[in-house]
Structure 1
Amino acid sequence: MANEPFFQIEGTHYVPTAAARGPWNPNSLHGRVIAGLLGAEIERLHGSAEFMPARLTVDMYRLPDLSPVEVVVRPVREGKRIKVIDAEFISGGVSAGRATCQLLKRTENPAGNVWKPPSWEVPKPADIEPPTDGRSGMGGMWATRRIEGAFGTVGRKRIWMSEVRELVAGRPLTPFVRVAVAADFASPFANSGDGGLEFINSDVTVYLHRQPRTEWVGFEVVNHGASDGVAIGECFLYDEDGPIGSAACAALAQRRMGG
């Protein structure tokens, strides 16, 4: 990947680059890089081929600036069938977010059939034309292939997304990190409407029954609700072979700076 990564490594810290800026404040980080880095550090230190990262929950309770970041990882439980790992996102010496990841021992599915929703039948990313304006997701933060619906509209929304840069310089994206850094997109995708995006998410939770086998992750909005300035949003997640899990978030009503 030739594009600038979101973070550079300096000693024990991760230094954000300009690519990591978020949409709400030009001097703050994007939520997706917070979730992505927390998930990446948990996987790097405690992941293994025998365990599936089945759930990642990230709380984002402070909008961090572009200060160097330290991620502190703490095991809660490391059993034979289940691991629970916590991680804290510390920006400029101040705690800005935290994550809990549950990793489950891989085994065989039991016999029998269980109901599940039908998988989507959509064009592959290679069969969809890139955006005609030359831009792709916030000026190139990611690559996208729109399937149905768009920001600024009310109705069904489905899209393919692929990362175009490393999260951390020199560390190739793993399948889990691809999902972790993309999952925050569930909030703007589910919570935007004909008035644009006026909700900022305070968390994101990803559930996975398998990891993506390709570089493209598909999002399909399946839920949105809002009362008294508090919203929830949910998307089903896919890769090119079918469903892989879901991403959900809570959000607060908020306007961008200068809005």
Structure 2
Amino acid sequence: MAARSLATVSYYDRVSADTYQPTRHVQGAWNDHEQHMSPVAGLITHAIDQHQPRADVQLSRISFEILGLIPLAATTVTVETIRPGRTIELVEATVLIEGRPRIRARAWRLAVSDDVAGVSGVELPAMPAGPEHGEPYDALAEWKGGFLASIETVALPGGRSGRRQVWARTPHTVVADEPFSPTAAAISLVDLANGIATRVRPTDMMFPNVDLTIHLIRQPEPSWLGLDTSVSFGPNGLGLTSSTLSDESGPFGRAEQALTVRHFPA
């Protein structure tokens, strides 16, 4: 099936119990025939949310292992519980495209409780200002693709190569005609981080991430996602993109992305 046009308002259409057709809004930034990791991460989170749902647990950590290029084609997501438990459980999701596993994700779901609120405290750095204080940030000036065209981003003052604070949001749903959690909505934007504070231009070198690991201390609120991001390159081709994640009420988690930094093939 061909991907739908940019006139749609969702990232995916469900075509069966566990298979989804990506729309053109999912198109990646490195190649026009691949999916961007951000929306597929949101799709995986949505599938995990629907797997044996429980009101007494929340997502604490989700780690995505990217096994290679993610084709812009029908996407199957399977989820299983590999460590059941009353207060702690571990689930695993696998993304299959064109008969091959493309992403594996593992997520810890932990019990929530109101009787520990008295010891709560957050040491994560807050965004210095809300999205109303940002200036429009044109991601398409450096990148291409339907996904980046589908989002709104504003950058706070003081950004530079390797360090930037950006707010992002999208009007699009994860899956057409299906409710989705604020967590899935936020995670559908987190992989943007590797493209908002680039140390070198993506036309000069490659620096794709091979994973995305997100830790959460609470469920995010809908609407804007704040990314306080730094990008570091080591001397031998390894890199790291690190981000504090915020909504308009403050920081709610962290994200890390391991990078492979290299020149384009001749």
TM range (shorter): 0.7 to 0.9
Give the equivalent residue in structure 2 for 1:144.
Answer: 153
Q: 2:69 aligns with which of 58, 63, 73?
A: 63
Contact in 1 for aligned 2:134/2:157 (Cα 8 Å): no
Q: 2:177 aligns with which of 161, 170, 183?
A: 170
Q: 2: CA distance between counterparts of 1:131 and 1:221?
A: 14
Deviation at 1:227, TM superposition (A): 3.4
Q: 1:38 aligns with which of 39, 44, 48?
A: 44
1:4 correspondence with 2:16: no
Structure 1: where are the runs of 5+ without partners? none
Contact in 1 for aligned 2:60/2:215 (Cα 8 Å): yes
Give the equivalent residue in structure 2 for 1:240.
Answer: 248
1:231 match: secondary structure = strand
Give the equivalent residue in structure 2 for 1:25.
Answer: 31
Identity %: 24
2:175 match: secondary structure = coil
Give the aligned residue type for 1:4: V
Give the aligned residue type for 1:141: S
1:62 match: secondary structure = coil
Q: TM-score, normalised by structure 2?
A: 0.84
Give the aligned residue type for 2:151: W
CA RMSD between the two structures: 2.7
Give the equivalent residue in structure 1 for 2:164.
Answer: 157
1:157 match: secondary structure = strand
**Residues 48-57 or 98-107, more deviating:** 48-57
Would the alpha carbon gap of residues 250 and 112 (structure 1) be closer, same or farther in structure 2, given more than 3 Å must change?
same
Contact in 2 for aligned 1:158/1:219 (Cα 8 Å): yes
Q: 2: CA distance between counterparts of 1:33 and 1:133?
A: 16
Cα offsets for 1:117-146 (capped at 9, x unmatched):
453331x224545458999x9553211121
Contact in 1 for aligned 2:8/2:23 (Cα 8 Å): no
Give the aligned residue type for 2:24: A
1:186 match: secondary structure = helix
2:163 match: secondary structure = coil
Contact in 1 for aligned 2:139/2:196 (Cα 8 Å): no
Would the alpha carbon gap of residues 256 and 184 (structure 1) be closer, same or farther in structure 2, given more than 3 Å must change?
farther
